[in-house]
Amino acid sequence: MHIRTLVTVLQVVWYGLAFTFATIDNDRFEGDSCVLADGTNGTCSRDLECEYLKTIPQHSWIKCSFDKNVSIVCCRSPPKTRFDMKSRSEQMCDSFDSFNDAANHIYAGTEAGEDEFPYLGALAFTGGNELAFRCGANLISDQYMLTAAHCLTFERPAFVRLGVVDIVTKSKTDPPVDIGIEDIIIHPDYVPRPLANDIALIKLNRTVTEDFLKRICLYTNISDPSPDVKLSIAGWGSTESNDWEMSPVLLKANVTTYDREDCNKILIEDKTPRRKLLKLNTDQLCALGRNTTGHNTGDTCVGDSGGPLELAIGRRRWIVGLTSTGKICGTSYPGIYTRVSQFIGWIEKEVWPEN
């Protein structure tokens, strides 16, 4: 006797965000066996505990059931061994406050909402007695921020401005949070040309206690999100490729990762001498915004360095990459980002040293 399992497509509104699942018609619960979209076996797990979701598009997620407001999905997990344990970064991520829902979180080149990037700050420089903002930085603990190394090599920032979308206009009702800098830690293997290991830590001079400022998790998966997975970028950088003037308000856009080999071909074929880049290092990845016609819809630009390449699943955020370099913004050339997953050991040693 053959039993045919009925498979349907169900659209679920969860925390205000619509997800489309291919789902089996009978509920399965956490720990039960299940079948993934590619036909292989999996285990029903809580969505935020499933690393597999970070690398596949949402239309390939298989729903098992719900536990209150938590979605239980079919997950491909690596075989567990007696040596298996969560990294320090993953343990800390579990303790971070959740974000608001991700509805309307990603658009192409539009102004960000007040609470969409509560971990992102702007670096303030005071050279020449004038206040200038350049580069972004991301709160990853209660006292450390992650940014691009090249933002810190020529001048030390005076402070980091957090908690606002508009970094210029000071509101009396919602003033910015300006925090001084105690220390700057540039990756020991950073080199400017050819650019490599473009990552650095900023130690703030006090602990962040404001409840509206949130920490973002580190992306620890060795596999990058697939080109079908939506990511977001954000920054106060220029909106024009030939204009160095920063945007006074935080802008966001929708991007996806770019195939490494395709990206390398584009970099190699570019003949502009002053923009000549070598092939991607293992610590770099490409990303670019696209619309349905294939035209560019989102890219980072001058001044966005150090900002996030962010993955959102439900009420949790992961920083996949840091805006690092690229060619002409707003064109078919992908932006180049530092792969955070390559530096987890170094970050953990500096931010959460073992006693």
Q: What is the SS3 assignment for 145?
A: strand
Distances (CA, A) of 322 to 188, 189, 198, 312, 326: 17, 16, 8, 15, 12
Name the active-site residue from 247, 305, 324, 341.
Answer: 305
Name the active-site residue from 45, 71, 89, 198.
Answer: 198
Report angle CA 21, 299, 98 to the nearest 5 degrees. 50
Whether 150 is a known active-site residue: answer: yes
Q: What is the SS3 assignment for 46?
A: strand
Q: What is the SS3 assignment for 178?
A: strand
d(Cα 324, Cα 221) in Å, to the nearest integer? Answer: 20
Name the active-site residue from 60, 141, 150, 232.
Answer: 150
Of the candidates 124, 5, 111, 119, the residue with the CA atom closest to the CA atom of residue 62: 5
d(Cα 132, Cα 59) in Å, to the nearest integer? Answer: 43
Of the candidates 108, 104, 33, 105, the residue with the CA atom closest to the CA atom of residue 64: 33
d(Cα 343, Cα 221) in Å, to the nearest integer? Answer: 11
The size of the chain, in residues, is 355
**Contact status, residue 159 vs residue 180, Cβ threshold 8 Å:** yes
What's the one-letter identity of residue 38?
A: D
C-alpha of 338 from chain center: 11
Whether 305 is a known active-site residue: answer: yes
Whether 198 is a known active-site residue: answer: yes
**Contact status, residue 147 vs residue 184, Cβ threshold 8 Å:** no
DSSP 14: E
Instruction: Give me the active site residues, please.
Output: 150, 198, 305
